[in-house]
Chains A and B, each alone.
Chain A
Amino acid sequence: MNLMSLDTAVRRLAPHALPLAIVLIVLVFAIAQPAFLKPENLVGIVRQMVLVGIMAVGMTFVIMTGGVDLSVGPVLALSGLVAFFCLDAGMPVAVAIVAGASIGLAIGLVNGAIIAFLQLPPIIVTLAMLSMVRGTALILGGPDLHAIRGQDAYTFIGTGRILGIPFPIYLFLLAALIMIFVQKLTPLGLRVAAIGENERAAYLSGHRTRLTKMALYGISGLGAAIAGMIQSSQVHTAAATYGEFGIELDVIAAVVLGGTSLTGGNGSVVRTLVGILFLGVMNNGMNILNVPLDMQLIAKGFIIVLSLALSELK
């Protein structure tokens, strides 16, 4: 009898496993190291997650339709470089930003077009794109770090503060709000859910499913481009090697941890935010406790599998 009720309790709590886990981890870290709860540190947690976070909310729709975008890392690097070269050529900041964003959007749309219209597997297409974009970034930027100097407006993107809170956090929250808004309140949100649930039925309901999918990869590329410009602004440099291998896995992990299934359907931007928060708290807490990097990586992998296994308990 007792066992039965324990079982039901676990099942009932399973959907909320991640928020609960976050609370638990926060408690543990807070007790072990009270500095964890200082406002500066909490802001820091979010700031550290801005790059992965913007890419993850951008990729959520792609994953909801059963796809994936592995090309975000190099797109991040290339967009930063494109913005740098525009600034370097004396163009206004706005033009540089639009150029950087456009290149990400364009790469995403190409990904989407190939996946939707030629019906090739997303994992292969975006893997190939990862390679090609990295190559392009290296041709453009070479092996050097390109310093961004005397561009206060551009630098503000990554390092500015409003009301004491870093500007990138506003950008991240804005991106998340826009995506939540799109998902909950626009036809596109329902079209995405429809493709994830039953692409054939969506098609037979007259949805232009292939155009929709193409647009979703465009959004993912755009997210990576914005992240790329924030990063180059934060560190005052652009380089072809930014967005190093592995960052796309963090992005995917955040989305999947949030509970969006890799096979499509059943997901939301809000849940992705929870996934990002979880990763952020984990990283920060382990840093504060001086857990060595090697152990951090192992712990992270372990916890990702554990929480996924928990979420499968339905």
Chain B
Amino acid sequence: MRTLPAMSGTGLTKVYDTLTALADANFIVMPGEVRALIGSNGAGKSTLIKILTGAVTPTSGVVEVDGAPVPLGNPQEIIRRGVACIYQHSNLAPAMTVLDNIFLGRQPVRRFGLLDRTRQRREAEALLALHGIDIDLDAMVSTLPAVKQKEVEILKALALDARVLLMDEPTGWLAASDVARLHQTIRGLKSRGVGIVYISHMLDEIFNVCDTVTIMRDGRIVAEHEVAGITRARLVELMVGEKLARDSAEAAHVKRRPRGSGEVRLSATNLTRKGVFRDLSFDLHAGEILCVTGLIGSKRTELMHAMFGSDRFDRGTLRIGGKPVAYRHPAEAMADGIGLVPEDRHREGLMLGLSVTDNLVMATLDRFRRWLLLDSRRIAAVSRQSIGDLNIQPPVGTRHVRLLSGGNQQKVMLGKWLNFAPRVIILDEPTVGVDVGAKAEIYGILRAERDKGAAVLVVSSDLEEVMTIADRIAVMVSGRMVAIHDADKITRADVVGLIGGAAA
């Protein structure tokens, strides 16, 4: 007899306006299978997961649990059918006990709506015994270590009689020993026939605990594989795209300018932030694009914020134009001509409810001040100029940024910093969630900045992007810089190997 999949999605497609976030995805997880789901940012993983949990209604497609179709876009019903999700960030009530958390929102009640504490405890103890998990039911959740809190979340899911468990980067906050412990728990669940979908950027974990792997890129499922029969390098290659080979061959014809004009604009020596990154040393020159690549979680964003003054470093020296600095506020970094275009344009980059024009001058307000007033005529002129230069569509300065497409929002955020005319510009994943056309435009803008003599530092997980625009490539793995090479002297395969930790 053929077993039915624990959960399956067929022909899942999600289209937002002009952007296809997920195209015709077919996804299956069997009972007792641990399936890894991997892909770069914007590959469509989160869209797929959100469809499976009911948080997002797909444009088309079918989701089945135990062979029976489930109503789409209905989280309660999907939970009732035994599909639970554990997120990177805790969803527990920290000031309540483990027992209360397990039954949160659906406590067994006796007559008159009184809590049936005895039954709660009996059920919870049975669950602990069944899954061999050891935890104090009366402990306050906030007093537990992170890994125990994860176990509480898992218990909460099991108490719902979950047959499918979706885990979205469950180890994001855990120390290495705790990861091993969590994996032990996962193996236990697997042996009891729970189907598990495991999303992670940590390749080690995938080889450690997963049976099969589904690889996504650009909103599609590009490959499925047994973990036992695949190499680490091949996995990374599938993640970042095979088109890379062709593109990097093309890009090889573009003149690379490692070390640009030779003038060192930014120089880091042994930069360290305890528990985050360690002993990072590199130079950034005027007139070059240095790409820092690596997997998500390699602490590149943290490094950039530490240099920009929106975070700190504990040890090491940062020199800007030869002068040692340790900024305590972004304004101080900006006074030295440094700009940072953050990764998350909605949370960190833009004021969505303000106009395109307001956003374009947000980093340079003081330059538009005449006495006490803002010079609105000059602001309008600069805005028109930026909208034209960057080809922002629609070309209307008064429009709220919220109403623009992702690519145009990204261009507005970029334009804000170009108006600042930085001598050092740091860009964190400058093309996340941006369509191919806008990507090419953004690359053109970055090259133009470089040619004007700016020092450009780009954080990117997208190897195609790195191979396309970098003059030099630095690779970070787990908070350490493992290599830094001229882009024309390193192959794509070398970078893939370095990212996967082959040379580390």
A interface, CB within 8 angstroms of B: 185-187, 189-191, 193-194, 197-198, 200-208, 265-266
Contacts and interface: CB of A to CB of B under 8 A. Distances in A.
Nearest to B368: A187
B164 interface: no
B310 A201 contact: no
A201 B350 contact: yes
Contacts of B368: 187
A187 B351 contact: no
Interface of B: 308, 310, 329-331, 333-334, 340, 342, 347-354, 358, 361-363, 365-366, 368-369, 372-374, 376, 416
Given A186-B374, A187-B365, A190-B365, A198 B310 contact: no
Nearest to B330: A206
Nearest to B342: A204
A205 B416 CA distance: 9
A202 B199 CA distance: 33
Pairs A-B, 10 closest by C-beta atoms: A197-B351, A206-B331, A206-B334, A205-B363, A187-B365, A205-B362, A206-B330, A197-B353, A198-B351, A185-B373
28 contacts: A185-B373, A185-B374, A187-B366, A187-B374, A189-B374, A190-B358, A193-B354, A194-B351, A197-B351, A197-B352, A197-B353, A197-B354, A198-B350, A200-B347, A201-B350, A203-B330, A204-B310, A204-B330, A204-B340, A204-B342, A204-B348, A205-B330, A205-B416, A206-B329, A206-B333, A206-B363, A207-B365, A266-B353
A155 to B, nearest CB: 33
A202 B376 contact: no
B330 A194 contact: no
Contacts of A197: 351-354
A198 B331 CA distance: 17
A181 B49 CA distance: 49
A123 B318 CA distance: 40
A190 B416 contact: no
A217 to B, nearest CB: 20
A265 B369 CA distance: 23
A186 B361 CA distance: 13
A91 B470 CA distance: 71
A216 to B, nearest CB: 16
A200 B373 CA distance: 25
A151 to B, nearest CB: 33
Contacts of A202: 351, 362
Nearest to A182: B372
A187 B352 CA distance: 18
B362 A194 contact: yes
Contacts of A187: 365-366, 368-369, 374
A125 B363 CA distance: 31
B376 A185 contact: yes
A198 B334 CA distance: 19
Contacts of A203: 310, 330
Contact of B372 (A186, A190, A191): A186
B373 A186 contact: yes
Contacts of B351: 193-194, 197-198, 201-202
Nearest to B365: A187
A13 to B, nearest CB: 21
B366 A193 contact: no
A193 B372 CA distance: 17
B348 A200 contact: yes
Contacts of B369: 186-187
Contacts of A191: 365
A204 B417 CA distance: 11
Contacts of A205: 330, 362-363, 416
Q: Which one of A193, A197, A205, A207 has the highest number of Cβ atoms from chain B below 10 Å of its Cβ?
A: A205
Nearest to B379: A190
Given A201-B348, A201-B350, A201-B351, A208 B362 contact: no
A116 to B, nearest CB: 13
A202 B330 CA distance: 10
B352 A198 contact: yes
Contacts of B362: 190, 194, 201-202, 205, 207
Contacts of A204: 308, 310, 330, 340, 342, 348-349
B340 to A, nearest CB: 7
Contacts of A190: 358, 361-362, 365, 374
A207 B331 contact: yes
